[in-house]
Structure 1
Amino acid sequence: MRNTPASVLLEIHTHVLAGMLNVPSHFARWAAVAADDDHPDADLSEELFHAYLVNGDEPLRALWSRHLTAWDFAEDAQWAPGTPARTDARRAAVYERLRFGSDLRKALDDAVPVAKVPGPTVITRDFTPWYTPERAAARSFYWTSYEQKLRAKGWSDAAIASLDEASRAVVERLTDPEQPTARQAKGLVVGYVQSGKTANFTGVTAKAIDAGYRLVIVLGGTLNLLRAQTQRRLDMELVGQENILRGADIADLDSLVGMDYVGDDEDWDDFVQHGALPSVLGAFDIERLTTRDKDYISLAQGIRALQFEKREPTRPLHDPANLHHAAARILVVKKNKSVLTKLVKDLKQIHGLLGELPALIIDDESDQASVNTLDPKKWEQGSTERTAINGLLSHLLKLLPRAQYVGYTATPFANVFVDPGDDEDIFPSDFLISLPRPSGYMGAQDFHDLDLAIPRDERSFANSQEKAHIRDIYESTGDRLQEAMDAFVLSGALKLYRADHGVDDGPFRHHTMLVHQSVRKDDHAELALRINSMWHQAGYSSAVGHERLAGLWTSDFSAVSEARASDLPAPTSYEDLRPYVNAARQRIGSGGQPVVVVNGDSDRYFDQLDLDFDRTPHVWKILVGGTKLSRGFTVEGLTITYYRRTTQQGDTLMQMGRWFGFRPGYRDLVRLYIGREEPFGRNRYADLYEAYEAICRDEETFREQLAQYAAVVDGQPQITPMQVPPLVAQHLPWIRPSARNKMFNAELVEIRSPGRPIEPASYPLSNAALKRNTERWRPLLDSLSAVPASFSNPPDHSSSLTRTFEALTGTVPHSDLLSVLAQLEWERPGHFDPHLTYLSQLDGTLAKVDDWLLLSPRLATTTRTEARVLGSLPLSLVRRNRQDGKASFGRIASVEHRMAAQRLIDAAHSPAETRPDGSAGIGPTTGVALLYAVAVGRSHTDVQAVVRNGSADPAKIVMAFTLIPPTSAVSADRRLVRFRAKDSRHMHDATIPVSSP
């Protein structure tokens, strides 16, 4: 190949960047040395480099993308002190070390923008660092191979760097496999539903075996279909062809008889290829003790398959002289009593070796089957009784003293409630890692308008997730099942249209609709029969059918796609789409059966379904089912969901969200038809959409608090995994975080909230208690001015309108407010105590707060009902719903009011900024209290019912509040929580103090 200026430049840059060894330094000086021998006359000017970048030289851009991204993501980069990863400051430090000029910097920023994505959140206890960058780089055969595979699949440099970072965070908290002393570590990795957790534990496995772990046991679900999916994924992306073939000649058909994948898997050519057996290349081989079609069975030749040869027989296996020459064993097994019993039996036969064997146990969906759910109150005195799978896991951990246990789940609450005092159980005592939300992922937030300030009548397909993706099902308006099926056909046609007009059709290989309405199998059969009949009567090839689809395309899909996917090809009219409708209809109805029922319990049942998305070329079907569709079973190509089944457990409800996941090329086509409660209805379990919003808030609150407390203070973690249970939130009283038999009791002592809202919700139900609370607030109401002040919120990115409201204001001393708060009664005793403990220290003990600005917001004139409260100034009554008699409200402060209060707090600590409301500016030692006179009810009539002769009945209103302390209201140690928890080591103690401020 002739050397062109571009190829010469690429060659020089490649050598230079490789030679820097991950530390950026003076680029021009390195380039001059690199060019001196082979290309002494090469043009190394920044001008030429800049020109190639601007003109889109892809190889050069790709090279710099990999290296800039690696430097951007580097944690604790000693060559760029004080610059956090994935920030403009870090990138600027890189450029300074490279000595690049401003024009070249701008061109590189345009070509490779800084990926400002969050890193993993790590809650950990102290550990001994061992997995250094130098050690990771020294042995990285399988990680490098996996990284190259992901790049070939189209993963971006930022996505790979993010996975690298997150998987490293897990591996570095395992025990050093080479260390002489045996030690187990237990951890939990929390992802999102359908978010690619398998990619993380594949990366963890790659790095762990590179580092020296020689037995990997992956618990891959409760069905062989799920286990086989995990096995295939690991075989394809990590194990590779050579390890699968075990040296067999792929051209010798006789030697391939019985081999996995060869000849019957259309993706065989996409399996990782190492070039030769890894042991021939100076690495080590991977031996599979399970295959795609066979779970673990008692080994035909005894335990010899689990025996490891030692190069130095007098040294233990974990000695580096032996460890890095031994093959690794991988098993992917079901969470099945029979299978795990066979494995335990075989391991028992090699007693001496087990104490030397570094092992890794990865538990996928670790909150399912793995948790011990037996009631401790029913155990025999002095004993621990376990469920079958939990008992076998405990046995494995006892047999393997060097085993590390890592659970993976999207719903962590059951795991964090495991008894931390039971050393033989799976409580994640060493670390809990929350993975960042992946780019391109559609989760609960993408289907809800959480805290969206835009009024409902101003929301559109462009600015509202709900309007774009949610289609409500009310009893009074019909079941909309035909419309959902029409949407399935129409979205399939649009996929085919896009594939025919230049869009990669890989994501369109499968196209599915999920109908999830009941857990009863009889209901599934009846519903499937009905859908099948509807399909054959829908007239998709008739004029009537096309007219119906044309109307749905015009009113829904065309408008949403124009607002959210204008960069994708779109038909100009339904007539352009019509041929693709016919093609979609034929695919869905192939074989005369558009509907598949998925509700079996056995492997045999799933085998006959022919629903293996990996091995079936195209699955275009409507799936009807219940529990089996709500966990583990990945529904590929899911575009339309019809969902009307509920539960009272938050983790189960979230796992039912099969519509979460990645939807490349068809994100705008996703529709969720979901059951809703009638306006002012009384069936609290009917509104599934509200339930999902609540558990979405639960999940995000949990993740936010983990992130808040993950920061290390004075070299020590603020909290450890044992102290995580109190962070679990619950926004709807009828949806528990997890099943009762999985919940561990923990109690917060203190929550510190500097600059953050405090909003209690468990107000009394008793009229007498409400009246007493109102009387306690009465003295502070005299501080309110009769002249309202005006507050405003500037427009956000989705609206050009400035939003304003009025409020009565007054200032009260901190001691006066604290006196009122200390006397308040709550429906749930102790509900406010952790916050009160914090607030009581703001008299100078912890920090100094002088006073509080009270805001009593006024509603818009058209919806305002005013009333005096025990002779106060007229207050604007607000309506809030207790959700059918439960103590907790969903939210007290409105978004507009809370935003304005937060801006006051933020501005008080930013002297350079202009205060948002000059008439009501506050100082750095003043907090803001939003105070509401709440009338409980679902309609305006309910509000008016508590007023008589201009006065509100103090026994029928709730004096509710939201407090935002000053940002400075925190101690020098910056700790944010104190709490206590019960565990089995202190069964007879009422409370156990865990830490002190």
Structure 2
Amino acid sequence: MTDILLEIHAEVLNGMTASPRHFVKSAELAAEDDFPGADITEETFRLRLAEDAGRGGALTALWARALTAWDFAENPRWASGTRPRTDQRRAAAYDRLQFSDDLRKILDAAVPVSRMAGTTVIAPEHVPWYTTERAAARSFYWKAYEGKLRAKGWSEEAIASLDAASHAVVERLADPEQDAARQAKGLVVGYVQSGKTANFTGVTAKAIDAGYRLVIVLGGTLNLLRAQTQRRLDMELIGQENILRGADPGDVDSLVGIDYVGDDADWPDFVQHGGRPSTLNAFDIERLTTRDNDYKSLARGIRALEIEKREHALPLYDPVNLHHAAARVLVVKKNKSVLKKLVQDLKQIHGILGELPALIIDDESDQASVNTIDPRKWEKDSVERTAINGLISQLLGLLPRAQYVGYTATPFANVFVDPGDSEDIFPSDFLISLPRPHGYMGVQDFHDLDSSLAPSERTVANSQQEAHVRGIWDSADDRLQEAMDSFLLTGALKLFRADHGVPEGPFRHHTMLVHQSVRMDDHAALALRINTMWHEAGYASSEGHARLGALWAADFAQVSGARARDLPNPVSYEELRPYVSRARQLIAKGGNPVVVVNGDSDRYFEQMDLDFDRTPNVWKILVGGTKLSRGFTVEGLTITYYRRTTKQADTLMQMGRWFGFRPGYRDLVRLYIGREEPMTKTSSADLYEAFEAICRDEELFRQQLAQYAELIDGKPQVTPAQVPPLVAQHLPWIRPSARNKMFNAELVEVRSPGKPIEPAAYPQSAAALRRNTERWSSVLKLLPQHPARFGVPGDGTGGAGRSFAALTARIGHAELLSVLSSLEWEREGHFQPHLRYLAQLDGRLATVDDWLLIAPQLSQGAAEASLLGSVPLTLVRRSRQDGKSSFGRIASVEHQVVAKHLIEVAADGGATAAMGAVVGPNTGVALVYPVVEGKADQDVLAAISRGVADPAKVVMAFTLVPPKSAINSTRQLVRFQAKDSRHADSAIVDAHL
């Protein structure tokens, strides 16, 4: 039966791709010809939406697609002045549609406004060419890809986010139709295991729709990884008709040499275009590589790269030729011999290369692509390059219209490339940070970052660590048996959920990863041990079931009860027990539950039958080293046992295979990871701490990119060449990247209106500490004897009902600046970028009248002492980071929450009284801490004699929060100046600047 209302709405919305318009008028025109007399009133629309409610009806899905696309649109002319994904944007769409308030409420309930973060773009100004209208006019392959994602179950929100992110990349490439040849180089930063391939598939679709006719994807360093990328593009973008190239799928003889048909169970799910695209007013895609074959040289390769022009007198990039030519797509291994073949073939093609719009996509672009030869070893006036870096440079040299886009989750190596090397891959034209996808489990899901809850108050409901992390504290009890038991239990729980209505798709594979060493001999020994433990575990015995039942009750039942109440869970272990037996059989299939993954050759991987795309079910324990740390996606990963370390942040981050999407089982994910007791901690043993540190480094990097991406008067305030100083380092023994990959510019000034400034590299010599304390003495004498109480706002950050006492006083801006300007630091220039900013708050940049000093008093029993004649102050114990001159966090979360709250209230027009001092819009807050360095309370007592603290043993630490008004109309937040690229060793900017 024809759904007339649905057909009319679909026709109308298809005509509103660019912008919404008066809906009823448009619907009347649509119904006039095909459905005269159809009921298209708003009342009927509302009734139909009410029927759809909760059932995922087709009409609701249609409107979800349209409304979400309008919500995500960047700078649309029809909604100027509104930001994406806001109530104001949605209201602008409703206004254009002329909808009533009642209909708006129903649609808002059915399709809520997405609150997903947007894409962050750091880029110089560019000439807009890839407009919404131009993208909509040529969108054959993008529409095919979009449809495939929808068929896979992607939400409209996720598709719209991908649409916006891929558009942001393509619009910063050169216009493929323009006369002048121009190359653009950019970097797209995602999260580990977060779907970067989906983004570059979307970019490829839009780029070839727009006119790019050669796409080279550098897809991994192993054939297995390259083949995975090839299959993904073939399945979701290129499609059956382009793969078959006219062959009859029913004729066996015509299918010789064609991949997938007959040996890939998912072949029916490959995109179908409804015919050869060239017969559908589009253009074909010719694959120059296949699932099983990388790029081949000689005649076949040369002929395939030659492109026929429709009008020989016109260049290829002329629209008359460009949009009728087939696109060529290659997925090549990042391998010297393969890339040399491609370069050699391109050199034999004359004339057309200068007219050919090409796109080079470099997956995992910080691996092998970056030049790591020390510049100090280059011959004079000559750049020496590593093999892959040199071949990429040659490709760019041969293709003057080529665009280079790198993809990585660990961008530090790429942003440290020398911007002055025009032939290298520095992302000079754009740096794009993708938003954290919905449903993604990342580092934040395994760490309690800045939680104000005491360890004793943390539970599986309010603590990520308590829910998902199981520390390995003692080598004598390495918890390996418990980890294996957890693997079996989680497999059983997946089978239970599949039998109780949860889709089986996410449970197709079930894996455990054991990563303890890089040595192959160690892998063999560990695999043998695990296999022996498995067969001796007694999983079929009453003792084994008793052990599993106890673990289920103590761990999984509690976590799932707190975090997965919407999913089916057994009420007792006896209800789960039959599924334990089934899971045990699946894991032990073939007699061995363990697979060692450490081969150096492609043949090794081919023999393992570990192709997650083509193998029906992989339920195994994987043991390995570096081959499991990058590129190799471990599907269904639920239990990770991790005890290996490294001293480079990007390498360590890439080892986080436990990150990713875990639909239907995120509550079951467990990370067993090496820990070390605080009192015995060495510089590199605590892996959990290391991951938290690099998480802070990367999140700080992303936050600053987002902060500085805001345009000032329509112009960017930061370019990619100024990004390196934003890279931080929280642990001394983990560099952002290898030393020979780092380049920098100098950070001159940091403006921090409303943001905490917390320096950390205080002097270590007793004489310097004494001098600094003496410089603070006049300020400390302002503090009174009687404290004030500050309530911590109950906003989820500090915890409702909390409070603390503190001594408070007021000090003029000039007086405080005089003290700050005289201080000594362990590293020269450490505080200078902030001091330059503070010095301008005397009316030049903005005006700060005074500061509210807050000297927090700790709980009863804390050590107190007078300092150079001051009233008794609470002495705070803190430790410097191992091997580094700087402390970790000094100000407590609660104290910072209060300070920022005072500033926020003042900025909103209020005023907060504290000990008679009014915090107004031109008042800053200064938290002051007399710190004694040490790891035990007796260190503090040793600094006190008869109630007086030794100024040579006290670090006068502070955190400043300037008022929000402390910024001028430019809103500029940072200033840079160039630094000599030869000084690579000073690339790191301390995280606490």
TM-score, normalised to structure 2, is 0.97
SS of the residue aligned with 1:485?
Answer: helix
> Is the 2:163–2:202 Cα contact (8 Å) retained in structure 1?
yes
User: Residues 8-32 of structure 1, C-alpha deviation per residue, up to 9 Å, x if partnerless?
Assistant: 2222222222333432222223233
- The answer for the alignment partner of 2:897 in structure 1 is 899
1:45 and 2:44 matched: no
SS of aligned partner of 1:475? coil
1:797 is displaced (CA, Å) by 4.3
- 1:934–1:133 Cα change, 3 Å: same
CA distance in 2, matches of 1:517, 1:551: 27
Q: CA deviation at 1:792?
A: 0.9
Instruction: Say whether the 8 Å CA contact 1:684–1:883 is kept in structure 2.
Output: no
**Matched positions, count:** 983
Question: The residue matched to 1:657 in structure 2 has which SS?
Answer: coil
2:504 alignment counterpart: 505
Deviation at 1:983, TM superposition (A): 5.1
User: Is the CA contact (8 Å cut-off) linking 1:732 and 1:890 kept in structure 2?
Assistant: no
Q: Give the equivalent residue in structure 1 for 2:192.
A: 193
Structure-2 residue corresponding to 1:728:
727
Cα offset, 1:982, TM superposition: 2.8
The separation in 2 between residues aligned to 1:267 and 1:798, in whole angstroms, is 47
Q: Measure, in 2, the Cα distance between the counterparts of 1:395 and 1:476.
A: 50
Matched, 1:449 2:422: no
Say if 2:921 and 2:965, in contact at 8 Å, map to a contact too: yes
CA offset at residue 745 of structure 1? 2.9
Quick one: which of 919, 934, 953 aligns to 1:956?
A: 953
Tell me what 2:559 maps to. Answer: 560
Within-5 A mapping of 1:270-281: 270-281=269-280
What SS does the aligned partner of 2:559 have? helix
2:591 corresponds in structure 1 to: 592
Q: Secondary structure at the match of 1:240?
A: helix
Distance 1:541 1:919, change over 3 A: farther
Letter in structure 2 aligned against 1:641: T
Task: Report the Cα distance in structure 2 between the residues aligned to 1:771 and 1:632, rounded to whole angstroms.
Answer: 53
Deviation at 1:101, TM superposition (A): 2.0
Map of 1:994 onto structure 2: none
Partners in 1 of 2:164 and 2:384 — Cα distance?
A: 39
Alignment of 1:374-393 (within 5 A): 374-393=373-392
Instruction: List alignment gaps of at least 5 residues for structure 2.
Output: 988-993
Say if 2:111 is the partner of 1:115: no
Task: Name the CA distance, whole Å, in 2 between partners of 1:699 and 1:136.
Answer: 33
For residues 418 and 753 of structure 1, the distance between their equivalents in structure 2, rounded to whole angstroms, comes to 28
> How far did residue 50 of structure 1 move?
1.9
Answer with 953-962 or 235-244: which moved more. Answer: 953-962
What percentage of aligned pairs have identical amino acids? 72
**Post-superposition shift, 1:302?**
5.5
2:27 aligns to what SS in structure 1? helix
Q: Which residue number in structure 1 is paired with residue 582 of structure 2?
A: 583
Distance in 1, matches of 2:668 and 2:913, equals 41
1:548 aligns with 2:547: yes
Match of 2:926 in 1: 929
Q: Deviations over 1:621-664 (max 9, x none)?
A: 11111111111111110000011111111111111111000000
Structure 2: how far apart are the matches of 1:424 and 1:22?
A: 38
Q: What does residue 433 of structure 1 align with?
A: 432
Whether the 8 Å contact between 2:417 and 2:742 is mirrored in structure 1 is: yes
Residue matched to 1:882: 880
Give distance in 2, aligned partners of 1:555 and 1:417. Answer: 47
Residue 145 of structure 1 aligns with which residue? Answer: 144
Partner in structure 1 of residue 869 of structure 2:
871
For residues 261-289 of structure 1, the C-alpha deviation after alignment (integer angstroms, 9 at most, x for no partner) is 11111111110011111111111111111
- Determine if contact 2:224/2:606 at 8 Å carries over to the other structure: yes
Q: Which residue of 1 aligns with 2:318?
A: 319
- Deviation of the 1:716 alpha carbon: 1.4
Distance of 1:938 and 1:480 partners within structure 2: 29
1:834-849 to 2 correspondence within 5 Å? 834-849=833-848
* Secondary structure at 1:332 match in 2: strand
Contact 2:640 2:671 (8 Å CA) reproduced: yes
- 8 Å contact kept, 1:792–1:916: no
Match in the other structure for 1:30 = 26
Match of residue 991 from structure 2:
none
Which residue identity is paired with 2:876? V
Whether the aligned pair in 1 keeps the contact of 2:808 and 2:915 (CA below 8 Å) is: no
CA 302–676 in structure 1, closer or farther in 2 if over 3 Å, else same = closer
Change (3 A) 1:751 1:579: same
Which runs of 5 or more structure 1 residues have no equivalent in the other structure?
A: 992-997
Correspondences of 1:652-667 after superposition (within 5 Å)? 652-667=651-666
The corresponding residue for 1:18 is 14
CA-based RMSD: 1.7
C-alpha spacing 1:696/1:217, structure 2 compared with 1 (3 Å):
same
Q: For residues 918 and 602 of structure 2, what CA distance do their matches in structure 1 show?
A: 67
The more displaced of 838-847 and 661-670 is: 838-847
Measured in 2, the distance between the counterparts of 1:291 and 1:246 equals 13
Mean CA deviation greater in 916-925 or 13-22: 916-925
Cα distance between partner residues in 2 of 1:900 and 1:325: 63
Runs of at least 4 residues off by over 6 Å: none
Cα deviation for residue 777 of structure 1 reads: 1.2
1:37: Cα distance to partner?
Answer: 4.1
Q: CA deviation at 1:941?
A: 2.6
- Verify the 8 A CA contact 2:793 2:901 in the aligned structure 1: no
One of 950, 969, 973 as aligned partner of 1:976? 973
SS of 1:929's equivalent in the other structure is strand
Task: Kindly state the Cα deviation for residue 917 of structure 1 after the two structures are TM-superposed.
Answer: 5.9
Alpha-carbon separation, structure 2, partners of 1:981 and 1:538:
62
Written as runs of structure 1 = structure 2, the 5 A alignment for 1:817-836 is 817-836=816-835
Q: Aligned AA for 1:665?
A: G
Give the equivalent residue in structure 1 for 2:990: none
TM-score normalised by structure 1 residue count: 0.97
Q: Secondary structure at the match of 1:287?
A: strand
**Contact 2:911 2:920 (C-alpha < 8 Å) held by counterparts:** no
Q: Which amino acid aligns with 2:13?
A: L
Match for residue 530 of structure 2?
531
* Cα distance change on mapping 1:382 and 1:694 into 2, 3 Å: same
Distance 2:617 2:983 in 1: 56
Deviations 1:393-443 (A, max 9, x none): 111111110000000000001000000000000000000000000000000
Cα separation, 2, equivalents of 1:832 and 1:377:
30
Give the 5 Å matches for 1:209-288: 209-288=208-287
Q: Name the CA shift for 1:872/1:535 in 2 (closer, same or farther; >3 Å).
A: same
Q: Is the CA contact (8 Å cut-off) linking 1:680 and 1:939 kept in structure 2?
A: no
Q: How does 1:781-800 map to 2 (within 5 A)?
A: 781-797=780-796
Per-residue Cα deviation, 1:533-559 (whole angstroms, up to 9, x for no partner): 111111111111110110010010011
In structure 2, distance between residues paired with 1:33 and 1:147: 28
Structure 2: which amino acid aligns with 1:438? P
Residues 173, 577 of structure 1: alpha-carbon distance in 2 compared, 3 angstrom cutoff: same
Distance 1:918 1:508 in 2: 60
What's the secondary structure of 1:341's corresponding residue? helix
Q: Secondary structure at the match of 1:959?
A: strand
Tell me, in whole angstroms, the C-alpha distance in 1 between the residues paired with 2:953 and 2:521.
Answer: 47
2:27·2:40 contact (CA, 8 Å) conserved in 1?
yes
- Whole-Å separation in 2 of the counterparts to 1:520 and 1:888: 35
CA distance in 1, matches of 2:15, 2:528: 66
Tell me the amino acid that sits aligned with residue 932 of structure 2: A
Give the superposition deviation at 1:391: 0.6
C-alpha change, 1:916 and 1:117, in structure 2 (3 Å) is farther
Tell me which amino acid in the other structure corresponds to 2:303.
R
* Amino acid across the alignment from 1:52: R
Partner SS, residue 283 of structure 1: coil
Give the C-alpha shift of residue 244 in structure 1. 0.6
Does structure 1 conserve the Cα–Cα contact (< 8 Å) formed by 2:18 and 2:133? no
Alignment of 1:658-677 (within 5 A): 658-677=657-676
1:995 corresponding residue in structure 2: none
Give the match for residue 631 of structure 1. 630
Decide which of 35, 51, 55 is 1:55's aligned counterpart: 51
The aligned residue for residue 947 of structure 1 is 944
Residue 987 (structure 1) shift: 8.9
Say whether the 8 Å CA contact 1:177–1:358 is kept in structure 2.
yes
Equivalent position of 1:519 in the other structure: 518
CA contact (8 A) 1:928 1:965 kept: yes
